[in-house]
Structure formats: structure tokens, C-alpha cells
């Protein structure tokens, strides 16, 4: 049982990566998997996600954990996933400007093209990953500082470099 709890971080990480790949679709993945830049970006993003999950695992209060997990994992994955299913591209800064200008139009188009099966299945799996992660107990608390520094470094690199 203890080994199962210790593997919770990796299980949650794999579930979230599978959900991400499902949202992107096999057609898009087949086209982009051959690119070295895509593989480098995805590997760094996956490592950053693992770091974020590790940092979230230190939150012991259930309500606080779910607030942070919802804001940092659930909401972004569902928004990006549904957007990707509809438009086959990632959300860009100009999309936020369009949303700020006309939220009703953007929400109407999004609701008209909503894929309920993907949304419900994705939400379920993302929540399962959260429950699995919540049972994971990091072994040493002092590791949070280097883990946080690595996570922030990778996030800044991904944001500014690529």
C-alpha cells in the first residue's frame, strides 16, 4: 500500500499527459511528433508539469489543495483542451483580447462547438489524477525549495525562449 501511495505522483502525471494527448487528437500528434522542436517543448513542458504536481503534493489541507489544483491544473487543461478540440490550435494572447472585447460571442461559439464527451471524460480523468496526487506524500519537505526553483526556471525558459 505504501508503494502505491509513493507512485501517486507518477500516476497522476501520466494521467494528465494522456488527457493532454487525447485533447490534441491523433491527427495533430502524428503530424507534430516528427518535429524535434515539438519533442523538446513537450519534454520540457512535461517536466514542468511534474514539478508543479510535486509542489502541489506538499499542500496537506484538502480545501486548499483543491483550490490550487483547480486553478493551476483543471481549469487551464479544460479551457485549452476544449479550445484545441474546436480550433486545432493553442490559445494565443490575441484570443484573450478577443475574449475581453466580446465575451458573449466567444462563449457562444465555444458552447456551440463544445465536445461534451471529451469535456466530461477529460474532467473525470483530471479529477482522478487530483485524487491520486492528493494521496501522494512527498518524502522530504526540504526538497520543495530546489523543486520550486527548477519549476520556475523551466517555466520562464519555456515562456521566453520558444
Better-scored residue on pLDDT, 56 or 40: 56
**What are the E-state strand segments in 83-151?**
none
Q: Find all residues with CB under 8 Å of 153, minimum gap 6, and list them.
A: none
The CA distance from 19 to 123, in Å, is 9
Better-scored residue on pLDDT, 117 or 152: 117
pLDDT averaged over every residue in the chain: 83
Mean pLDDT value of segment 139-155: 72
Of 7-16, 45-54, 100-109, 135-144, the range with the lowest mean pLDDT is 135-144
- Measured N-to-C along each axis, helices 103-112 and 75-87 cross at an angle, to the nearest 10 degrees, of 70
Q: Find all residues with CB under 8 Å of 4, minimum gap 6, and list them.
A: none
Count of structural domains within the chain:
1
pLDDT at 23: 86
Distances (CA, A) of 65 to 103, 130, 140, 143: 29, 9, 18, 19
pLDDT at 130: 94
Residue 143: pLDDT band with limits 50, 70, 90: low
Q: Tens digits of per-residue pLDDT, 42-86?
A: 888 888 898 889 889 888 899 999 999 999 999 989 888 888 887
Of 28-37, 39-48, 149-158, the range with the lowest mean pLDDT is 149-158
pTM score: 0.79
- Can you give the residue range of the structural domain that contains 141? 2-161
pLDDT at 10: 92
Amino acid at each position: 500500500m505504501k508503494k502505491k501511495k509513493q507512485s501517486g505522483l507518477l500516476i497522476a502525471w501520466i494521467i494528465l499527459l494522456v488527457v493532454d494527448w487525447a485533447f490534441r487528437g491523433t491527427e495533430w500528434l502524428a503530424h507534430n511528433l516528427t518535429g524535434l522542436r515539438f519533442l523538446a517543448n513537450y519534454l520540457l513542458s512535461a517536466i514542468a508539469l511534474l514539478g508543479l504536481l510535486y509542489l502541489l503534493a506538499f499542500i496537506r489541507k484538502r480545501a486548499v489543495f483543491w483550490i490550487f489544483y483547480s486553478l493551476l491544473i483543471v481549469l487551464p487543461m479544460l479551457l485549452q483542451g476544449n479550445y484545441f478540440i474546436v480550433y486545432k490550435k493553442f490559445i494565443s494572447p490575441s484570443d484573450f483580447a478577443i475574449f475581453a472585447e466580446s465575451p458573449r460571442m466567444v462563449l457562444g461559439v465555444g458552447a456551440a462547438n463544445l465536445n461534451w464527451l471529451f469535456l466530461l471524460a477529460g474532467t473525470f480523468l483530471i479529477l482522478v489524477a487530483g485524487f491520486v496526487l492528493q494521496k501522494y506524500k512527498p518524502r522530504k519537505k526540504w526538497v520543495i525549495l530546489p523543486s520550486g526553483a527548477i519549476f520556475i526556471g523551466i517555466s520562464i525558459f519555456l515562456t521566453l525562449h520558444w
